[in-house]
Amino acid sequence: MERLSFYLFIIQNVIYINKEMIILGIETSCDETGIALYDGDANKIISEKLYSQAAKHAEFGGVVPELASRDHVKKLLPLISETLREASLDARNIDGIAYTAGPGLRGPLLTGASLANSLAFGWGLPCVGVHHMEAHLLINLLENPAPSFPFLTLLISGGHCLIIEAETLGKYKVLGQSRDDAVGEAFDKTAKLLKLGYPGGPAIEKIALRGDPKAFDLPRPMTKEKHLDFSFSGLKTAVFYLIKKQKNISETFISDLAASFQEAVAETLLIKSKRALEQSKKDQLVIGGGVASNQYIRTRLIEGLEGVEIFFPPIERCTDNGAMVAVAGYYRINQSHSEDIIIRPKWDLSEL
């Protein structure tokens, strides 16, 4: 009998160790519907689907929250079914559901949160709402080699520009942030001034390839000051006045201005990151968020930060996606799952 219990104990533990922990991630904080299945123990995305509404919002020059929510409602279930089908899995194989609880647009967040909680209730699974910016950071843990805590983080997205000291999982100290426009927002607004369409970041990057980054002497905002905060609205205003006084808006003028704007952003990020690395005595910089997909900015940071180990997600995982939510959910689900539908449109990372 004793021997039987001993064998049962061994079998149970071997099964436990080998048990996969599969998380379904759901991202709906803005205009991307992102779904992914993440095998946490293998640290691998099994399958993922992404639907971007960008073309729908382009005619309005920015995201219309009401339209975004309605589109998420239409796309969520078909995308989840496709993601499961592609992985040859079904609800019984999932161990938990993660959704973006904030920060983000209220309606779109609520759409994802409601569906995630309904599925979790129906399937008898734990459900967790994750922080969108923590997810942009934790997606880097998929990489090989992956960063190891503690490290410095630069998060550059459409809604945020943050320099963070990440001590350990969930312990984040905000060292600097934008006092006005986020860096992606500055790209979008500048692209609008240059009539390049929405989303502005990729459009500026594309046309800047043909431009001269030294053509216009744009400001490097707040780089003379010791603190680590940013301000990007003045940069956009400087572009506005250059356009206003220009008589001939030629293609060369636009590409030179786009390239000079991109260089001003890149140099500002570089100066602040260098200062933050020195002040915090860190030698790893982990970067995330939509603007991190900009190849020019990536190269400027790599070249300018010699001796620093820099981590970027692959380009396609810099902008919003379901994989980042599934990864964050894996690390969060045991600590903080809840049966309430929680959204936090405004949510400071240091409050985690």
Residues that bind ligand KG4 (CB under 6 A): 30, 157-159, 184-185, 187-188, 199-202, 205, 289-291, 293-294, 319-320
Q: Which is nearer to ligand KG4, 99 or 120 (CB)?
A: 99
Contact 175, 164 (CB under 8 A): yes
205's contact among ligand KG4, Zn ion, none, with CB below 5 to 8 A by partner kind, is: ligand KG4
To ligand KG4, the closest distance from the beta carbon of 199 in angstroms equals 4
- Is the Cβ of residue 71 or residue 320 nearer to Zn ion in the bound state? 320
Taking the least distance from each CB to Zn ion, the nearer of 47 and 157 is 157
Residue 260 interaction partner, one of ligand KG4, Zn ion, none, beta carbon < 5-8 Å per kind: none
Measured from the CB atom, is 125 or 286 closer to ligand KG4?
Answer: 286
* Minimum CB distance to ligand KG4, residue 200 (Å): 5
Give least dist CB 133 to Zn ion, A: 7
Nearer CB in complex with ligand KG4: 47/293 = 293
Q: What is the 3-state secondary structure (H, E, C) of the chain?
A: CHHHHHHHHHHHHHHHHHCCCEEEEEECCCCEEEEEEEECCCCEEEEEEEEECHHHHHCCCCCCHHHHHHHHHHHHHHHHHHHHHHCCCCHHHCCEEEEEEECCCHHHHHHHHHHHHHHHHHHCCCEEEEEHHHHHHHHHHHCCCCCCCCEEEEEECCCCEEEEEEEECCEEEEEEEECCCCHHHHHHHHHHHCCCCCCHHHHHHHHHCCCCCCCCCCCCCCCCCCCCCECCHHHHHHHHHHHHHCCCCCHHHHHHHHHHHHHHHHHHHHHHHHHHHHHHCCCEEEEECHHHHCHHHHHHHHHHCCCCEEECCCHHHCCCCHHHHHHHHHHHHHHHCCCCCCCCCCCCHHHC
140: partner contacted, choices ligand KG4, Zn ion, none (Cβ within 5-8 A by kind): none
Please report whether residue 27 would count as binding Zn ion according to CB under 5 A. no
For 217, counting Cβ atoms within 10 Å of its Cβ (0-12 exposed, 13-18 middle, 19+ buried), the class is exposed
Choice between 25 and 119, CB closer to ligand KG4: 25
Contacts of 181 (CB under 8 A, 6+ apart): 189, 231, 232, 233, 236
- Min dist. Cβ of residue 155 to ligand KG4 (A): 9
Shortest reach from residue 41's CB to ligand KG4, in Å: 27
The nearer residue to ligand KG4, 158 or 221, going by C-beta atoms, is: 158
Residue 320 binds Zn ion, judged by CB under 5 A: yes
C-beta of 100 vs 117, nearer to ligand KG4: 100
Question: Could you tell which of Zn ion, ligand KG4, none binds residue 201, using a CB distance below 5 to 8 A set by kind?
Answer: ligand KG4
Mark the segment that binds Zn ion (CB under 5 A) among 71-79, 108-116, 118-126, 150-158: 150-158
Q: How far is the CB of 102 from ligand KG4 (least distance, A)?
A: 11
Closest distance of CB 318 from ligand KG4, Å: 7
Q: Which of 157, 178, 260, 294 binds Zn ion (CB under 5 A)?
A: 157
Rule CB under 5 A: is residue 53 a binding residue for Zn ion? Answer: no
| CA 60 from centre of chain | 23
Which residue type occupies 158?
G
Please tell me the count of residues contacting Zn ion according to CB under 5 A.
2
> Where do contacts with Zn ion occur on this chain (CB under 5 A)?
157, 320
